[in-house]
Amino acid sequence: MNIGEIAKRAGVSRSTVSYALSGKRPVSTATARRINEVIDQLGYRPNASARALAEGRTRTLSLVIPPAGRRLTDVQLGFVASVVEAAATYDLDVLLSPSGGDHDRSFERIVTGRRVDGVILMEILLEDARVARLEQAALPFVTIGHVERPGASWWVDVDYEALIRRCVHHLADLGHEHVVLVSRSDELVAAGYGPALRATAGFLDVAEQRGLTGHVVCCADEPGAGQACFEEIRRNRPEVTALVTINEAALPGLQRALHHSGLHVPRDLSITGVIAKRLAEDFSPPLTAADVPAEEMARLAVDLLVERIADPDATSRHALLEPVVSLRSSTGARPR
Amino acid sequence: MNIGEIAKRAGVSRSTVSYALSGKRPVSTATARRINEVIDQLGYRPNASARALAEGRTRTLSLVIPPAGRRLTDVQLGFVASVVEAAATYDLDVLLSPSGGDHDRSFERIVTGRRVDGVILMEILLEDARVARLEQAALPFVTIGHVERPGASWWVDVDYEALIRRCVHHLADLGHEHVVLVSRSDELVAAGYGPALRATAGFLDVAEQRGLTGHVVCCADEPGAGQACFEEIRRNRPEVTALVTINEAALPGLQRALHHSGLHVPRDLSITGVIAKRLAEDFSPPLTAADVPAEEMARLAVDLLVERIADPDATSRHALLEPVVSLRSSTGARPR
DNA sequence: CTGAAAGCGCTTACAG
DNA sequence: CTGAAAGCGCTTACAG
């Protein structure tokens, strides 16, 4: 069943059916009613491929997710669901595309095949081949995260540096003198992962400014590493009384190690950082932390992308979010 | 840039370029080489919409995720990523589609708009309107989960009943006499959610058979509910020495409640059930549990769907997986 | 081994 | 307010 069939049954031309559907040309009330009756009766809906070909747009976005090797963190997953939700409000579909590893074919299919109207790129690196590729292909895109000098790019990010600065100030206010930042994995940092680099910068700067001893440790994105990392800190730096973390995936291991150590939080040790709300609340005790607003970021990313698609030559826009630090139960005065 | 441009530059007809690309008709080596040179040089790739329209297939699958109200569990999320991976090996793209709530538009767009070649439906209910809709539209689909009498349907599922039976036998062997099944939410059970119903049936049957006192409690899919649920069990049924759970989302709350209670697992209480491997391993102590093989299920679902798309009239197939129970550290002899 | 042409199902100037 | 026709960029019988 196609538009011709509808036209025939409604006794009008195909163009009239098309215009009745799109509203791009006035159609007499009587005709419109007749057309709509036939459409409802037959449950007709335009073929998406034909429409995309004729219109030159697919009404589809691509969400490029990080390489599957790295498991998605809770924040990232919430983000995926939220992007789908936000896109749905624009009647846009979302193509989930893997990248990295042996997924170049998938990414190229999206980019060159004109498969989508725009792309949202998660977890970009400071130097990112995919960004260059999208620019070259002149495909509208928005990144989650931003590079050092963003230039004319469109992005949404959380201000990791500012948030970590706040966390360290908070710990300094509580009298802590020896603090550690639990960062992301070595490889990620080496690859130039912005949030980790900026968190480190903010951490070290405020530590110095407030006269604290601050150390940064990289930790692989998995519970086991979190546990090992904690044990190493206890062994090598027993003077440390507070942890700042941006590593969500390691949290369960941290919890386990904490449990085994018999340490009480926050009496013996304070913990804070940038953590998804759900994870912070599920920790025992609930973590004082900056909640990454994944839903808001998703919403903003889709809004920006829709705007950029509508006007590819518009001046670039971005949003740098600075969520509040929620005081829960994991930070307290330095033990003496 | 389109196929005509390539044809012109290579000095051949458009059909020859098309055949060189698809391999559906022999092309002389010299011509093929010339065509490929031009294609590589210009980075040409066929327009996906045009191809879809001409071929009558989109090379795209839809993965319908559960209503966003219910947060995705860890297993479900791993499943999404794995489906994308598996589809990529067939050079298929995946459209992520929300369903339920106010997402009927999204679902209808997929179904009627011929947007995809096939659909994978997660989390089906025993009576599921989406299943009926897909059948009516004659769109190939595979469900994760199966209904009571599956008839000629295509599906992949985990044998919850068999797994829970094994768990209860294991507890009975360890001497436990009073056990509780922590099921999913009231609403889900009321809606006819297969895994919960089948787990309950298996649980009660083996409990009776082995002479145990078995109770089933429903628990909302969130940590807070898990905590409340545990506390209620301790209060109302202090004689209970073992828990069987199929509720992953409630696990963090269970962990917290356990911590507060001061109970030692497995000395004072045994815990087992059907749980994603990652969650089971991250629990403290690691849970003896049947690991839901999300990756394998995803792979199988895609394989079956590809098969069904290729031959819509083929006899239906399905896969009922029965993963092993991994012995970890959360079950032990009944305390006396 | 290759080409000219029809057709997939839409949208949208062009005409009236 | 409406229709006839061209065109989007492919694939694939039909011919040679």
Q: Give tens-digit pLDDT for B179-193.
A: 999 999 998 888 888
Strands B93-98 and A93-98: antiparallel
User: CA A139, C1' D8: Å apart?
Assistant: 19
Res. A71 pLDDT band, cuts 50 70 90: low
Q: In the structure encoding, which two tokens stand for residue B130, read together? A: 């989406």
Q: Which of the given ranges, A113-127, A236-250, B58-72, has the highest pLDDT on average?
A: A236-250
Q: What is the pLDDT of residues B245-291, one digit of tens each?
A: 999 989 888 988 888 888 999 999 999 999 988 889 888 889 999 98
> Which nucleotides of chain D are near protein (any atom < 7 Å from a CB)?
1-5, 7-13
Mean pLDDT calculated for residue range B125-144: 89
Q: Where are the domains of chain A?
A: 3-46, 60-158+294-321, 160-292
Chain B partners within 8 Å of A47 (Cβ) = 53, 113-114
Question: Would you call A2 an interface residue with chain B, using a CB distance cutoff of 8 Å?
Answer: no
> What's the mean per-residue pLDDT of chain A?
90
Q: Where are the beta strands (DSSP E) in chain B?
A: 60-65, 93-98, 118-121, 141-144, 155-158, 178-182, 213-217, 242-245, 270-274, 288-290, 318-321, 325-326
Residue A168 to residue A33: CA distance in whole angstroms: 65
Of the listed ranges A232-241, A276-285, B225-234, B311-320, the least confidently predicted one is A276-285
Q: Is the pLDDT of residue B205 over 80?
A: yes
Chain A partners within 8 Å of B84 (Cβ) = 65, 68, 96-98
Q: Is the CB of B115 under 7 A from strand D?
A: no
Q: Is the pLDDT of residue A287 over 80?
A: yes
**CB–CB contact B65 A81 (8 Å):** yes
Nearest nucleotide to A19 by CA–C1' distance?
Answer: C11
Residue B279 to residue B277: CA distance in whole angstroms: 5
Question: Would you call A97 an interface residue with chain B, using a CB distance cutoff of 8 Å?
Answer: yes
Residue A145 to residue A158: CA distance in whole angstroms: 7
Q: Is the pLDDT of residue A67 over 70?
A: no
Res. B68 pLDDT band, cuts 50 70 90: low
Nearest nucleotide to A7 by CA–C1' distance?
Answer: D3
Q: Is the pLDDT of residue B4 over 60?
A: yes
| Residues 53 through 82 of chain B touching chain A, CB cutoff 8 Å | 53, 58, 60, 63, 65, 68, 72, 77, 80-81
DSSP B134-145: HHHHT--EEEES
**CB–CB contact B253 A85 (8 Å):** no
Q: What is the pLDDT of residues B300-317, one digit of tens each?
A: 999 999 999 999 889 999
Give the fold, CATH level 3, of A60-158+294-321. Rossmann fold (3.40.50)
Q: Domain B160-292 sits in which CATH superfamily?
A: Response regulator (3.40.50.2300)
CA A172 from centre of chain? 30
Q: Is the pLDDT of residue A116 over 90?
A: yes
Whole-number pLDDT of residue B14: 93
Of the listed ranges A166-175, B48-57, B69-78, B174-183, the least confidently predicted one is B69-78
DSSP A6-31: HHHHHTS-HHHHHHHHH-SS---HHH
Res. A74 pLDDT band, cuts 50 70 90: low
Question: Would you call B252 an interface residue with chain A, using a CB distance cutoff of 8 Å?
Answer: yes
Q: What is the pLDDT of residues A28-48, one digit of tens each?
A: 999 999 999 999 999 899 999
Whole-number pLDDT of residue A267: 94
Q: Where are the beta strands (DSSP E) in A26-173?
A: 60-65, 93-98, 118-121, 141-144, 155-158
Whole-number pLDDT of residue A207: 96
Q: Is the pLDDT of residue A148 over 80?
A: no
**CB–CB contact B80 A94 (8 Å):** no
Nearest to A332 by CA among A276, A285, A300: A285
A contact test, residue of B133, B284, B295 with most A CBs within 10 A = B284
Q: Is the CB of A112 under 7 A from strand D?
A: no
Q: Is the pLDDT of residue A232 over 70?
A: yes
Mean pLDDT calculated for residue range A8-31: 92
Size of interface A-B (CB pairs under 8 A): 125
Give the percent of chain A with pLDDT over 70.
97
Residue B263 to residue B174: CA distance in whole angstroms: 18
Instruction: Please report, for residues A31, A45, A91, the alpha-carbon distance to residue A39 in angstroms, rounded to integers and kept in the order given.
Output: 12, 8, 20
Whole-number pLDDT of residue B180: 97
Considering CB atoms only, which of B58, B96, B108 is closest to A94? Answer: B96
Whole-number pLDDT of residue B124: 84
Q: Where are the beta strands (DSSP E) in chain A?
A: 60-65, 93-98, 118-121, 141-144, 155-158, 178-182, 213-217, 242-245, 270-274, 288-290, 318-321, 325-326
Question: Would you call A263 an interface residue with chain B, using a CB distance cutoff of 8 Å?
Answer: no
User: CA B35, C1' D4: Å apart?
Assistant: 38
Res. B46 pLDDT band, cuts 50 70 90: very high
Mean pLDDT calculated for residue range A86-91: 93
Whole-number pLDDT of residue A224: 86
**Which protein residues, judged by their CB atom, are less than 7 Å from any atom of strand C?**
A 2-4, 14-15, 18-19, 21-22, 24, 44, 46-47, 50-51, 53-55; B 11-16, 19, 25-28, 30-31, 50, 53-54, 56
Equal CATH topology for B60-158+294-321 and B160-292: yes
Q: CA of B260 to nearest chain A CA: how many angstroms apart?
A: 9
Whole-number pLDDT of residue A70: 54
Considering CB atoms only, which of B53, B114, B252 is closest to A282? Answer: B252
CATH class of A3-46: mainly alpha
* Statement: the pTM of the whole predicted model exceeds 0.75: yes
> Whose CA is nearest the C1' atom of nucleotide C13?
A15
Q: Is the CB of A334 under 7 A from strand D?
A: no
> Which nucleotides of chain C are near protein (any atom < 7 Å from a CB)?
1-5, 7-13
